[in-house]
């Protein structure tokens, strides 16, 4: 190759490299801009669903934080009157009661509480047996200056509320359980294979098969599987399955809860509530019948089990069944929930 051709070839290679770098730079900036936009969108979504933003939907309510038993507990409070502690279920947060909190606040000082492992509260490695979690709620009550409280719990919150009443009857005025009982030996009788009809979507009153009681107890695996889109798919299935129909929880409510459980440590903590069931069952054997007044509120598929539990484990208990209502009691039937609470806790 002549010297002249060599110079032209070198120039051609240089220009090609420069153009390639310019194209790569433009492509990178474009993608970075997209990623930045996605990150900004995610940040905006998290901000939109922050406790500070959500509490503004409830005039007269405010966020509160207390440190008890070495962990931070977040709650939303409002209203005047006797204290009424509300404990949400899985997979939700304090926001599960947002439809009933304003009406209840007309008669009670309402606290919707993110207990150990939930929402904006602390997520330690241990302490997810319901006796320990109940001790957190008792310590919170004392920290807030209360000797005795009314308490209501839904789902996992019901298990904690029952443990509270069992361990601290002197601090319990009345107890309400929503669509769930404390873990007991009947949990050990749940079959490994589903009975017929439990997945028949054409029947909103079908019995439910609680397969996640086992899945959530597997060490580490659920946290590894439920990442990103998989978390959204799994939880939306759960919200659909446990509702009387698939409109039970709104798109916004679902997004709020999914965002909460996507936070670091949240899945582990939520699954630890289930991993402690064996210990909870053993603890249950040591509890006497409750002497405080107990109300059970069940949906169409949860009522029978809850009614049997209340009759067996409370000396002053009753249960009511809400028709055309699934597992998400306070969201699906807020007016009847308010009515039942008002009549019971008055």
pLDDT digit string, tens, across residues 10-23: 433 343 443 343 33
Give me the mean pLDDT over the 124-138 stretch: 98
* Alpha helix (H) residue ranges in 195-295: 212-215, 221-225, 229-242, 251-261, 266-275, 277-284
Stated pTM of the model:
0.87
- DSSP state letter for 325: -
What's the confidence (pLDDT) of residue 167? 98
Q: Reply yes or no on whether the pLDDT at 67 is more than 80.
A: yes
Count CB atoms within 10 A of the CB of residue 57. Answer: 11
pLDDT of residue 186: 95
> Could you write out the DSSP letters of every residue in 140-201?
HHHHTT-S-EEEEEETHHHHHHHHHHHH-GGGEEEEEEES-----GGGGG--SSPPTTTT-T
Reported as a single tens digit per residue, the pLDDT across 296-314 is: 999 999 999 999 999 999 9
Q: Let me know: does 124 contact 116? Beta carbons within 8 Å.
A: yes
How many Cα atoms within 13 Å fall on the side-chain side of residue 27?
A: 6
Give the pLDDT band (50/70/90) at residue 40.
very low
Question: What pLDDT score does 46 carry?
Answer: 60
Q: Which one has a higher pLDDT value, 41 or 161?
A: 161
Q: What are phi and psi of 138, to 5 degrees?
A: -65, -45
Q: Mean pLDDT of all residues in the chain?
A: 90
Q: What is the pLDDT of residues 132-190, one digit of tens each?
A: 999 999 999 999 999 999 999 999 999 999 999 999 999 999 999 999 999 999 999 99
| Residue 37 confidence (pLDDT) above 90 | no
Largest CA distance in the chain: 106
Which residues, 6+ apart, have CB-to-CB distance to 198 below 8 Å?
Answer: 206, 207, 208, 209
- Read off the pLDDT of residues 94-108 as tens digits, 9 standing for 90 and up: 999 999 999 999 999
Residue 44: other Cβ atoms inside 10 A: 10
Q: Is the pLDDT of residue 6 over 90?
A: no
Look at residue 30 and tell me whether its pLDDT is greater than 50: no
Tell me the pLDDT tens digit for each residue of 327-342: 999 999 999 999 999 9
Chain-centroid distance of CA 296 in Å reads: 20
Establish whether the linkage from the previous residue to 222 is cis, with ω within 30° of 0: no
pLDDT classification of 64: cutoffs 50, 70, 90: very high
The fold of 51-345 is Rossmann fold (3.40.50)
Q: Is 141 exposed, middle or buried (0-12, 13-18, 19+ CB in 10 A)?
A: buried
Q: What is the pLDDT of residue 170?
A: 98
pLDDT at residue 48, rounded to an integer: 74
Round to whole Å and give the CA distance between 153 and 130.
12
All structural domains of the chain with their residue ranges: 51-345
57's tokens: 């939907």
Say what the pLDDT of residue 55 is: 98
- pLDDT for 1 beyond 70: no
What angle, 0 to 180 degrees and rounded to 10, lies between the N-to-C axes of helices 251-261 and 3-48? 110
Pairwise CA distance, residues 27 & 33, whole Å: 10
Using alpha carbons only, give the angle 323, 327, 332 rounded to the nearest 5 degrees: 60
Provide the β-strand partners of residue 65. 74
User: What does each C-alpha distance from 220 to 266, 279, 311, 313, 334 come to in angstroms?
Assistant: 12, 19, 37, 34, 36
Q: How many residues does the chain have?
A: 346
Task: Give the list of residues 6+ apart from residue 201 with CB closer than 8 angstroms, or none.
Answer: none
H or E stretch at 20: helix 3-48
Reference 256, options 276, 236, 275, 273; nearest CA is 236
Token pair recorded at residue 232: 């959204």
């Amino acid at each position: 190759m002549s010297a002249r051709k060599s110079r032209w070839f070198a120039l051609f290679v240089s220009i090609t490299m420069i153009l390639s770098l310019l194209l790569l730079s433009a492509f990178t900036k474009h993608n970075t801009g997209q990623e930045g936009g996605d990150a900004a969108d995610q940040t905006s979504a998290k901000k939109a669903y922050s406790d500070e933003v959500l509490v503004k939907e409830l005039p007269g309510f405010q966020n509160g934080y207390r440190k008890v038993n070495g962990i931070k507990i977040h709650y939303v409070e409002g209203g005047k009157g006797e204290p009424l502690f509300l404990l949400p279920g899985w997979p939700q947060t304090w926001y599960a009661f947002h439809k009933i909190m304003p009406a209840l606040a007309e008669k009670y000082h309402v606290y919707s509480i993110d207990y150990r492992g939930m929402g904006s509260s602390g997520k330690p490695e241990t302490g997810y047996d319901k006796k320990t979690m109940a001790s957190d709620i008792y310590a919170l009550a004392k920290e807030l200056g209360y000797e005795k409280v009314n308490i209501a719990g839904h789902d996992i919150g019901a298990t904690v509320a029952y443990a509270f009443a069992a361990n601290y009857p002197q601090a319990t005025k009345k107890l309400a359980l929503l669509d769930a009982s404390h873990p007991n030996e009947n949990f050990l009788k749940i079959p490994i294979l589903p009975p017929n009809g439990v997945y028949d979507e054409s029947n909103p009153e079908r019995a439910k098969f609680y397969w996640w009681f086992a899945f959530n107890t597997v060490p580490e695996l659920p946290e590894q599987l439920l990442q990103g889109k998989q978390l959204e798919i799994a939880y939306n299935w759960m919200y659909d399955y446990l509702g009387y129909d698939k409109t039970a929880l709104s798109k916004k409510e679902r997004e709020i809860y999914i965002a909460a459980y996507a936070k670091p440590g949240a899945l582990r903590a939520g699954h630890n509530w289930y991993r402690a069931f064996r210990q909870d069952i053993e603890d249950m054997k040591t509890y006497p019948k409750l002497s405080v007044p107990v109300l059970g509120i069940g949906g169409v598929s949860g009522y029978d089990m809850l009614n049997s539990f209340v009759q067996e484990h409370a000396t002053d208990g009753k249960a009511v069944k809400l028709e055309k209502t699934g597992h998400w009691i306070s969201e699906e039937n807020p007016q009847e929930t308010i009515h039942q609470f008002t009549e019971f806790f008055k």
